[in-house]
A and B are shown apart, each in its own frame.
Chain A
Amino acid sequence: MGSLLFVLVLVTCFVGLSAWQVDRAQHKNDAVESADVEEVEPFNEVMEAQAPMPGILADQRVSLSGHWLPDAQVVVPGRVLDGDKGFWVVTMFAPDDARLGASVGADAEDKTIAIPVLRGFTTDEKTAMESRAAEGPVKMTAQIGPVEGPMPGNSLPEGQVRSVSTSQLINLFPDLLTYSGFLIPESATGDAASVATDGLAFVPPTTTRDEGGFDLQSAGYAIEWLIFAGMALYMWWQLLRDDFMRRRLGEGSDSQDPANRVEYVVVKSAGQSSIDPKVMSGLTGLPAHRHGAKKPRRSRGSASKSSTDDNSTNTTPTGGN
Chain B
Amino acid sequence: MSEEPESLDSRPDFDDNDVWSVKRFTSARNALKFYRVMAIITGTMLLILTVEMIYKYLIAADSATALNFGGFNLAAAIAICHGWCYVVYLIGCFWLNQQMRWTLGRYIVLALAGVVPVMSFILERKIHRQVEAELAAAVVVAPKS
A residues neighboring B (CB under 8 Å): 80, 85, 151-152, 217, 220, 224, 227, 231, 234-235, 238, 242, 245-246, 249-250, 252-253, 262-275, 278-280, 282-284, 308, 313, 315-316, 318-321
Q: Is the CB of B25 within 8 A of A268?
A: yes
Show 10 A/B contacts (Cβ-Cβ < 8 Å), sorted by A: A220-B83, A245-B21, A250-B16, A253-B9, A265-B141, A268-B25, A270-B18, A275-B25, A284-B142, A318-B143
Q: Assess whether B126 is interfacial by the CB under 8 Å rule.
A: no
B94/A265 in contact, CB under 8 A: no
Main secondary structure of the interface of A (DSSP, over half): mixed
Interfacial residues, chain B to chain A (CB-CB below 8 A): 1-2, 5-9, 11, 16, 18-19, 21-23, 25-26, 29, 62, 64, 70-71, 80, 83-84, 87, 90-91, 94, 98, 101, 104, 132, 135-145
Q: Tell me which residues across on chain B come within 8 A of A280, comparing CB atoms.
A: 22, 142
A-B residue pair count with CB separations less than 8 angstroms: 108
If A234-B98, A273-B132, A273-B136 touch, whether A264 touches B143 (CB-CB below 8 Å) is yes
- For A252, the chain B residues whose CB sits under 8 A away are 9
Please, how many angstroms separate the alpha-carbon atoms of A283 and B26 in the complex? 16
Q: In the complex, which of the residues B5, B11, B90 has the most CB atoms of chain A within 10 Å of its own CB atom?
A: B5
Partner of A275, one of B19, B22, B83, B87: B22
Q: Which residues of B contact A249 (CB under 8 A)?
A: 16, 19
Q: Name the residue of chain A whose CB is nearest to the CB of B132.
A: A273
Q: Which of A217, A246, A278, A313 contacts B145 (CB 8 A)?
A: A313
A80 CB to nearest chain B CB (Å): 8
Q: Which residue of B lies closest to A85 (CB)?
A: B70
Residues of the A chain whose Cβ atoms lie less than 8 Å from the Cβ of B64: 151
* A229 CB, nearest partner CB in chain B, Å: 12
